[in-house]
Each structure stands twice: as structure tokens, then as C-alpha cells.
């Protein structure tokens, strides 16, 4: 990989960090936002849920609409909108405006990630593409892991506006770096909208979408309630819970690095084996969840697998539509957000009906169903050699 390609991927990674930081970092400052606008924390949570829902809707459509536009210009537009949205959030005293300042950037969110994943993959040889994409995913994981504690620290020590200023500064830095270091990148082989949407006629893409929805449901349907699980089942202190969450986040970043190597070496085998390994972790979580040390080890391995899972999801959809990368990445973003929504809702149902310990059931059931759709796609691609990895 050339130095220029490394620089571009590094900028894309920081860009991913900045945008996810803007999306997820708000979670750490909801109480401060509630106090500032004189609303409940639940109502302040709309800043998170509206953002995620908007991404789910705009995921397939916006990358498609922008698929023929110069990628550099498209990324600069998105970054500029995020900076502007953050600045408005700093100075507004009207909660409705604060929501609008979140929803508009969320509409454009999929454009940046679609371009980032596509550019990362195109900057290297085809067989090295998963490694390049996995580096951008490090930015995603870092945004999720570091965004919440950084925002929370700034809000608690200064004000929530300073947290929003941090989001704006990161996005502004990436805007400048993109403007200076990226060349003009016109789309040379633009497919018509009809040609891109036509991939939805292929059964393989729908099998991939359903598999990804289920795999993300398996991961986030359980992870969303990890803090509650540690509090009520493992019965540990708040400081230890924070440490466990940091362990999970750090392991998630490691998982992204591992995923790039696994998908480069043998992608199909990695995808098929993944549900089995994560399923074993969930069984151990159910059996040993009340013990602190085993939980720390389980969370470490689980975090690595969650990082691998994000890369697998992106690969599984984009590999089903290699000629429509922008649209495919948009479908990936929508699928994972929808999977998170379903998994979290079903996980909450299991908790309310059976108890917190049984939230692992949403993970196990989602993995079993996801594996069915993975094997169906693998069989459809290799009807003769449909054994593990088609080898």
C-alpha cells in the first residue's frame, strides 16, 4: 500500500470517528442536555433515536442519489453539514432546532460511510480490500468507544456545549484534511440508478440483507443491555461496569484488525464460523454471568467478535453486489441499524418477561436464524461445492 493510500485511509478513519462520535457521543451527555433544555432524559434521548432512525431510512437512498457525484465533493458536503449541525447545537436554546440540527446531518451520514468504504477498498488490490475497510471500521469503533466517555467528561467538567464543540472540531479537521490531501475523485464508471437498484432483484442480496439484520440483532440485542446485565446478574459496582465497557470497546477495535486478516485469508469460512463462536460465548455468558472474572474474559472475547462482526456484515452485503458498491454500502448501513432496532426491542421483551439473564436468548436465536441465511446464500453461490467455505 502506498504512502498516499495510507494517508487517505487514515483520514477516512478519523472521519468515521468524527461522524460516529457525533452520533453516539450524545449518549454520554443526555442528562446535561435534559437540564439545559428543561426536558426529561427520555425526551433528550430523541436526539439519539431520531438520528438512528433517519440513518436507517436514508441508508440506501442517499448513497444511490450521490453515486454519480465526485466523491471528494460529496464527502466535503457531508463533513460541512456535520460541522454546521454541531455549531447550531452549541448555540441553540430551542430543543426543536436541536433535533433538526441532528436529523439533517443524519440524512447525509450514509453518503460519507459509503464513500469511505468504497474508497478504502479501491485504494488497494482487490484481495487486500477487507484489510483497508477494516481500518475505516477502527474509526467507527473508536467513535463508539471513546465518544461517550470523552463527551461525558467534557460535559461534566465544563458544559455540554464544549462536548458539541469537540464533535465540531474533529469534523472540521477532517474537512480540511480531505480538502487538502484528497484529489478530485469524479466517478468514472457511473451506473444508472436503475442498474444499481436492479441488484434488489437478485435473491442473493436479500439473503445477505436478512443475514446481516440477524447478525447485528445478535450482537446489539445483547450488548445494548450489557450494563444492566453486569449490574443485576453479575452484581458489580458502577466503576467496574465502566471498566468492563472499556474492555469491550478496546477489544472491539482489536476485532476490526483481526477481521481484515480473516476476511482477506478466507472470507466465506470466516462468515460461516462466526455465528458458532459467538453462540458459544453467549452460552458461556448465560452460564457464568454471575461470576466477575469469567465475565471479564467473556466480555474481552465478545468485544473482539463484535468488531469482527461489523466487518463481516459490511463484506457480506457488498460482496453480493460488487458492481454497485455505493448502493450496497447504503444497504449495509440500513440493515445494521434495522438489526440493532429489532435486537434491542426483542431483547427488552425477553428481559421484561423472563429476566435480564435471558437477554442472551435474542442473541442465540438471531445467530441460528442468521446462520440459516448465510448457508442458503453460500449454497446458492456454490450449489456443488457448498461445504464449509465452498472449499
- Of 146-155, 159-168, 218-227, 372-381, which range is least confident? 146-155
Percent of the chain clearing pLDDT 70 (strictly above): 95
Q: Model's pTM, two decimal places? A: 0.79
Asked if pLDDT for residue 163 goes beyond 50, the answer is: yes
From the list 364, 126, 384, the residue with the least C-alpha distance to 267 is 126
Cβ distance 85 to 104 under 8 Å? yes
Pick from 40, 17, 25: nearest CA to 154: 25
Which backbone phi and psi does 182 adopt, to 5 degrees? -90, 135
- C-beta separation of 332 from 202 below 8 A: no
Alpha-carbon distance of 111 to 28, in angstroms, equals: 25
Contact indicator for 184, 304 with CB cutoff of 8 Å: no
Q: Are 29 and 161 in contact (CB under 8 A)?
A: no
Q: How far apart are CA 300 and CA 260, in angstroms?
A: 19
Distance CA 149, CA 153 (A): 6
Q: Are 85 and 101 in contact (CB under 8 A)?
A: yes
Query: How far is it, in rounded angstroms, from Cα 308 to Cα 29?
Result: 28
Q: Which helix (H) or strand (E) holds 259?
A: helix 238-288
Q: Is 224's pLDDT higher than 90?
A: no
Question: Does the pLDDT of residue 182 top 80, yes or no?
Answer: yes
Please state, in angstroms and rounded to a whole number, the distance separating the CA atoms of residues 230 and 296: 10
Residue 180 burial (CB count, 10 A): 8
Domains of the chain listed by start with CATH number = 3-190 (1.20.1250.20), 195-390 (1.20.1250.20)
What's the CA gap between 121 and 319, in Å, rounded?
A: 12
Output 4 or 366, whichever has higher pLDDT.
366
> DSSP letter at 202?
S
Contact 32, 160 (CB under 8 A): yes
Question: Mind listing the pLDDT tens digit for each residue in 24-52?
Answer: 788 768 778 888 999 887 788 788 778 88
Q: What average pLDDT does range 326-354 have in this prediction? A: 85
Q: Average pLDDT of the chain?
A: 87
pLDDT higher than 90, residue 198: no
DSSP alpha helices (H): ranges in 289-324? 292-318
Least confident of 93-97, 137-141, 207-211: 137-141
Distances (CA, A) of 11 to 5, 17, 171: 10, 10, 11
Mean pLDDT score, 47-66: 84
Amino acid at each position: 500500500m502506498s504512502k498516499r493510500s495510507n494517508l487517505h485511509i487514515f483520514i477516512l478513519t478519523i472521519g468515521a470517528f468524527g461522524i460516529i462520535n457525533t452520533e453516539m457521543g450524545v449518549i454520554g451527555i443526555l442528562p446535561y442536555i435534559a437540564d439545559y433544555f428543561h426536558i426529561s432524559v427520555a425526551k433528550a434521548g430523541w436526539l439519539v433515536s431520531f438520528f438512528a432512525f433517519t440513518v436507517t431510512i436514508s441508508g440506501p437512498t442517499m448513497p444511490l442519489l450521490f453515486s454519480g457525484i465526485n466523491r471528494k465533493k460529496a464527502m466535503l458536503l457531508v463533513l460541512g453539514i456535520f460541522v454546521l449541525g454541531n455549531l447550531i447545537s452549541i448555540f441553540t436554546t430551542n430543543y426543536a432546532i436541536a433535533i433538526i440540527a441532528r436529523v439533517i446531518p443524519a440524512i447525509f451520514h450514509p453518503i460519507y460511510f459509503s464513500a469511505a468504504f468504497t474508497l478504502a477498498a479501491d485504494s488497494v488490490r482487490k484481495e487486500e480490500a477487507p484489510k483497508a475497510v477494516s481500518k475505516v471500521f477502527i474509526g467507527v469503533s473508536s467513535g463508539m468507544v471513546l465518544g461517550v466517555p470523552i463527551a461525558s467528561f467534557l460535559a461534566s467538567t465544563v458544559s455540554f456545549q464544549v462536548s458539541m464543540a469537540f464533535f465540531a472540531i474533529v469534523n472540521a479537521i477532517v474537512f480540511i484534511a480531505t480538502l487538502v490531501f484528497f484529489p478530485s475523485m469524479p466517478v468514472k464508471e457511473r451506473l444508472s440508478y436503475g442498474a444499481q437498484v436492479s441488484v434488489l432483484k437478485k435473491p442473493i442480496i436479500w439473503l445477505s440483507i436478512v443475514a446481516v439484520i440477524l447478525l447485528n440483532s445478535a450482537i446489539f440485542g445483547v450488548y445494548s443491555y450489557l450494563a444492566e446485565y453486569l449490574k443485576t446478574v453479575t452484581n458489580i459496582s458502577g466503576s467496574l461496569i465502566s471498566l468492563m465497557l472499556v474492555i469491550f470497546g478496546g477489544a472491539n477495535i482489536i476485532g476490526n484488525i483481526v477481521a481484515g486478516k480473516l476476511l482477506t485469508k478466507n472470507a466465506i469460512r470466516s462468515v460461516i464460523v462466526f455465528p458458532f463462536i459467538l453462540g458459544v460465548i453467549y452460552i458461556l455468558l448465560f452460564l457464568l454471568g454471575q461470576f466477575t472474572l469469567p465475565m471479564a474474559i467473556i466480555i474481552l472475547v465478545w468485544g473482539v467478535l463484535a468488531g469482527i462482526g461489523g466487518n463481516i456484515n459490511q463484506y457480506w452485503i457488498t460482496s453480493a453486489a460488487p458492481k454497485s458498491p455505493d448502493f450496497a454500502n447504503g444497504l449495509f448501513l440500513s440493515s445494521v441499524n434495522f438489526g440493532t432496532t429489532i435486537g434491542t426491542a426483542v431483547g427488552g421483551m425477553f428481559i421484561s418477561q423472563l429476566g435480564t439473564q435471558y437477554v442472551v436468548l435474542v442473541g442465540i436465536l438471531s445467530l441460528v436464524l442468521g446462520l440459516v441465511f448465510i448457508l442458503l446464500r453460500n449454497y446458492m453461490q456454490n450449489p456443488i461445492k457448498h461445504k464449509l467455505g465452498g472449499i
